[in-house]
Chains A and B, each alone.
Chain A
């Protein structure tokens, strides 16, 4: 094992194909180079840690993250809003997640996600129609034209952002996403200023909308979060804000990458793309295999230990920083047969792509529907699509990994 395998994983030149590095990493299921994080890369160990109550998601439990290359700087920006449930432990996590789930899913709102299917269809149709009308068939950037705008629009509908404000919302989401993906050539001061401004504007906008919905609730998530009054009480305005920001950020970039990684994979396996065109129901299992094969969240970097623990014979002290490399566990040959093969018919497919345990992806049912619909509609409507660059240019981010652009050419677009 080379000393700098973690640096290699983070190195941009390995972004298009980190899987050989993960394979090397798995030779040491718990990798620790002396000062950095403890990096866990094998399926069963990751699965166990995701369910282990001695593991914390709250950065305040870290003894020190000085040597962790993915540690968050945690400046002033981090303290503007209270932490969302993504970065909290029980019981605070449970209280906020329960209150957020109340208007989103079963048992209280079993129909919210299901009932969005008509909206999802209409948004997907609108985006593909727009490519057909305005696009240049010789060169379409699927990220800009499709995978990027789709999830933001969905989150706007879910939260209840009025349609006339959606364009402003897109601009803020763009700037915040760019801050997750620093362009090494850009002026960092200028970028920081723009990120800060966007955060402020988005915060001001959302707090205005929350106040409005509190007075005149309209049945959307924001109204329900602002007025909800279940056994856990009502969220404060700051808690609603921080939850809405979490849904926006966590539900956006990840879904963009799931869809883009999905199209990239389908274009690399044209026989599967052809099948999907004929059998749209294949999209259900296909999306599960994509979540295993090219997961949008490659690793979970922000966990820490609340006690001294032992994992695969390695002692990890209390307060240590952990990385759980989901994308490596998903290709662990001790768990999956022929793990490097993309197989949309795979039956044994209990992947780690959406995490597991108390922090398992909150938006999973929505993300699944978005990806299933997006991929089956793209397969149906694009005529003879082909990649113009393989690999395509990737985003900088090693954690939320996916192509920055996906340039393709088509012969035409079916109605």
Chain B
């Protein structure tokens, strides 16, 4: 999985940090920290992947771009086919 957050879009709603706390964290009230390359895409990462998918969908400003290892684009700006 590869992740990019468009920090110009990000408004600090923190929805991603609720839904995938192992990948997204708030630093203070507004800044977002995230792991751009979470997991190793093995079987054990199914839950991580599910959580990240939920986080991407929950972003009110659609700031998260997700690319899965199989090259499939996840939801998000520019990620849509």
- Interface positions of A (Cβ within 8 A of B): 98, 105-107, 110-111, 113-114, 281, 284-285, 288, 347-350, 354, 356, 360, 364-365, 368-369, 372
Q: What are 11 of the A-B contact pairs (CB < 8 Å)?
A: A105-B18, A106-B24, A107-B14, A110-B17, A110-B21, A114-B18, A284-B54, A284-B57, A347-B80, A364-B15, A364-B58
Contact with A along B52-81 (1 / 0, CB 8 A): 011001101110000000000001000010
Whose C-beta in chain B lies nearest to the C-beta of A98?
A: B29
A-B interface contact total, Cβ < 8 Å: 62
Asked if B26 lies at the interface with its beta carbon under 8 angstroms from chain A, I say yes
Q: How far is the CA of A368 from the CA of B20 in the complex (A)?
A: 13
Residues of chain B within 8 A (CB-CB) of A360 are: 13, 60
Whose C-beta in chain A lies nearest to the C-beta of B57?
A: A284
Residues of chain B within 8 A (CB-CB) of A347 are: 75, 80
Whether the Cβ atoms of A106 and B58 lie closer than 8 Å is no
Q: How far is the CA of A354 from the CA of B61 in the complex (A)?
A: 12
Whose C-beta in chain B lies nearest to the C-beta of A355?
A: B60
Please pick, from B13, B25, B57, B61, the residue contacting A288 in the complex, using a CB distance under 8 A. Answer: B57
Whether the Cβ atoms of B60 and A350 lie closer than 8 Å is yes
Asked if B28 lies at the interface with its beta carbon under 8 angstroms from chain A, I say yes
Q: How far is the CA of A356 from the CA of B80 in the complex (A)?
A: 23
Residues of chain A within 8 A (CB-CB) of B80 are: 347-348
A36 to chain B, nearest CB (A): 30
Q: How far is the CA of A368 from the CA of B55 in the complex (A)?
A: 11
Whether the Cβ atoms of B50 and A281 lie closer than 8 Å is yes
Q: How far is the CA of A111 from the CA of B21 in the complex (A)?
A: 7
Contact with A along B1-33 (1 / 0, CB 8 A): 000000000000111011101001111110000
A171 to chain B, nearest CB (A): 31
A48 to chain B, nearest CB (A): 14
Whose C-beta in chain A lies nearest to the C-beta of B18?
A: A365
- Interface positions of B (Cβ within 8 A of A): 13-15, 17-19, 21, 24-29, 50-51, 53-54, 57-58, 60-62, 75, 80
Whether the Cβ atoms of B53 and A105 lie closer than 8 Å is no
Whether the Cβ atoms of B60 and A356 lie closer than 8 Å is yes
A348 to chain B, nearest CB (A): 7
Residues of chain A within 8 A (CB-CB) of B51 are: 114
Whether the Cβ atoms of A107 and B26 lie closer than 8 Å is yes
User: Which 3 A-B pairs give the minimum distances between C-beta atoms?
Assistant: A365-B18, A107-B26, A106-B17
Residues of chain A within 8 A (CB-CB) of B62 are: 349-350
- A285-B75, A364-B15 are contacts. A354–B60 as well, Cβ < 8 Å? yes
- Interface centre among B15, B18, B28, B62, by most A CB within 10 Å? B18
Query: 14 more A-B contacts (CB under 8 A) besides A114-B19, A114-B21, A369-B54?
Result: A98-B29, A106-B14, A106-B17, A107-B14, A107-B29, A110-B17, A281-B50, A347-B80, A349-B62, A350-B61, A350-B62, A356-B60, A360-B13, A368-B19
Q: How far is the CA of A369 from the CA of B24 in the complex (A)?
A: 17
Residues of chain A within 8 A (CB-CB) of B58 are: 288, 364-365, 368
Please pick, from B18, B50, B54, B57, the residue contacting A106 in the complex, using a CB distance under 8 A. Answer: B18
Residues of chain A within 8 A (CB-CB) of B17 are: 105-107, 110
Whether the Cβ atoms of B53 and A284 lie closer than 8 Å is yes
Residues of chain A within 8 A (CB-CB) of B60 are: 350, 354, 356, 360
- Interface centre among A106, A110, A348, A364, by most B CB within 10 Å? A106
Q: How far is the CA of A285 from the CA of B50 in the complex (A)?
A: 12
Whether the Cβ atoms of B19 and A365 lie closer than 8 Å is yes
Whether the Cβ atoms of A106 and B25 lie closer than 8 Å is yes
Whose C-beta in chain A lies nearest to the C-beta of B56?
A: A284
Please pick, from A98, A105, A356, the residue contacting B14 in the complex, using a CB distance under 8 A. Answer: A105
Residues of chain A within 8 A (CB-CB) of B18 are: 105-106, 110, 113-114, 365
Q: How far is the CA of A356 from the CA of B61 in the complex (A)?
A: 10
Residues of chain B within 8 A (CB-CB) of A350 are: 60-62
- Interface centre among B15, B53, B60, B80, by most A CB within 10 Å? B60
Q: How far is the CA of A114 from the CA of B48 in the complex (A)?
A: 12
Residues of chain A within 8 A (CB-CB) of B19 are: 113-114, 365, 368-369
- A347-B75, A360-B13, A365-B58 are contacts. A281–B53 as well, Cβ < 8 Å? yes
Whose C-beta in chain B lies nearest to the C-beta of A285?
A: B57
Whether the Cβ atoms of B15 and A110 lie closer than 8 Å is no
Residues of chain A within 8 A (CB-CB) of B24 are: 106
